[in-house]
Copies of this chain bind each other. A is one copy, B any other.
Amino acid sequence: MDFFNTLTYKEVLELIEKKYSDICIESEDINILDSLGRVLSEDIISPEDLPHFNRSTVDGYSVISNDTFGASEAIPSIHKIVEKIEMGKKSKMSLSSGEAAYIPTGAMVPKNSDAVVMIEHSELLSEDEVALYKGVAHLENIIKAGDDISKGAKIIQKGKKIRPQEIAILASVGIDKVKVRKKIKCTIISTGDELIDINEKIEEGKIRDINTYAIEAMLKDCGCEVMSKVVLKDTKSLFEKTLKEAISKSDLVLISGGSSVGDRDHTYDVIKSMGEVFVHGISIKPGKPTILGVSEKTAIVGLPGHPGAAISVFEVVVKAIINKLEKCSAKKRVGVYKISTNVHSAPGKHTIQLVKIEKERAIPILGKSSMISCLSEADGYIEIPMDSEGLYKEQEVNVNFF
């Protein structure tokens, strides 16, 4: 086996940028209602103005602003009502001086009109005559065509993960289809002689296959598609065959090692025989025995066997890989909190510490790293850089939310 140095977390992130830059997930056209959580693979340019016409922001009377100059409670300006504009209808008139048109909020301002007087400042004198008690400035109470979004403007950038907000914007300018990355195709391979499935009867010595479930759930949560999942006994030849097939049909292969001795090496050997291994050990805690490799257009990750460690590595390493493959610009949701107690970290290691938020404090969830029961308590995690020796009580930390 080759000699490998454990890499720092920063080095690993740089390698992810570099080594996976040739893998690019294809695009597909999709209806905007099916696009939630998908990553845009094109900039969105507005095909039209929003609003599409000059629009009133109030209920009132549409006028030529000059006509109302000097109007006040004492000396109103008197206008002839020439139109009652309806919602959704095109205004038919072009206003002349001394004329006004009744207009509801959101309706189209008639030609020549450049301001709207609010209904509160008006008094109907007769069916076709209104007194306006307040002067309005040019464009007062009007949104001009294109004021919100102008035709040809870039309204959403490539790489954005689509949320309901983006769907609202797309709908607002009449875009019903967008180009997004296809879902990342994933295969999960779990190895270990000791693994039994969750619906088998537990026996002494056996361990339930937690990772296949946890990894599938995390992948789905990231919007990936799990093509297949395989649980293998620890034999190298079976593993070789399975990995080869997985590579041929997946963009991303996640391997969860059993805890048998020698497992890790044989994961390494087999990945290497099919491509390149560029990370074999990361100075993070938990998660040291992580392997990253690439074979043609497939990213391959060997995750630590312990579920707590596998979940942590997924958060800080696999999510970075997924973002890289999808060319996604999504930011992490991070909150600054004061930490409730001193926290010791492993010197020389990038430490991932689960925390829960209570009373506006981040509370570290301590306990042996092997504790699975801790997972449900956690609202997120903090990262303690390798050059720090730990955190002091009340120090401010960035909490990454799950």
Contacts and interface: CB of A to CB of B under 8 A. Distances in A.
B199 A168 contact: no
Interface in A190-229: 192-195, 198-200, 202-211, 213-214, 216-218, 220-221
Contacts of A165: 214, 311, 375-376, 378, 402
Interface residues of A, number: 92
A337 interface: yes
Contact of A90 (B163, B173, B203): B203
Contact of A193 (B48, B88, B160, B217): B88
Contacts of A198: 32, 170-171, 174-176
A87 interface: yes
B155 A376 contact: yes
Interface residues of A, dominant DSSP: loop
Interface string A87-122: 111110000000000001111100000000000000
A376 B169 contact: yes
A145 to B, nearest CB: 9
A53 interface: yes
A101 to B, nearest CB: 13
B87 A194 contact: yes
A177 to B, nearest CB: 9
Contact of A50 (B108, B192, B200, B372): B372
A108 B169 CA distance: 58
A123 B30 CA distance: 63
A328 to B, nearest CB: 15
Contacts of A48: 202
Interface in A286-309: 305, 307
Interface stretch (A7-15, A19-27, A253-261, A344-352): A253-261
A107 B323 CA distance: 37
A148 B204 contact: no
Contact of A52 (B204, B370, B379): B204
A63 to B, nearest CB: 19
B331 A379 contact: yes
A174 to B, nearest CB: 5
Nearest to A203: B90
A294 to B, nearest CB: 25
Contacts of A307: 168, 172
Contact of A192 (B87, B170, B171): B87
A48 B218 CA distance: 25
A183 to B, nearest CB: 15
B259 A104 contact: yes
Contacts of A107: 194, 205
B399 A335 contact: yes
A368 B51 CA distance: 13
Given A164-B214, A220-B36, A399-B335, A208 B376 contact: no
A176 B196 CA distance: 13
A278 interface: no
Ranked nearest first, the 6 interchain pairs of A and B with the lowest CB-CB distance are A335-B335, A88-B194, A164-B217, A168-B214, A106-B259, A171-B213
23 contacts: A87-B205, A87-B259, A87-B261, A88-B192, A90-B203, A104-B261, A105-B259, A107-B194, A148-B371, A148-B373, A155-B373, A156-B376, A163-B402, A164-B218, A168-B375, A169-B373, A171-B208, A173-B208, A174-B199, A335-B335, A335-B337, A336-B337, A401-B401
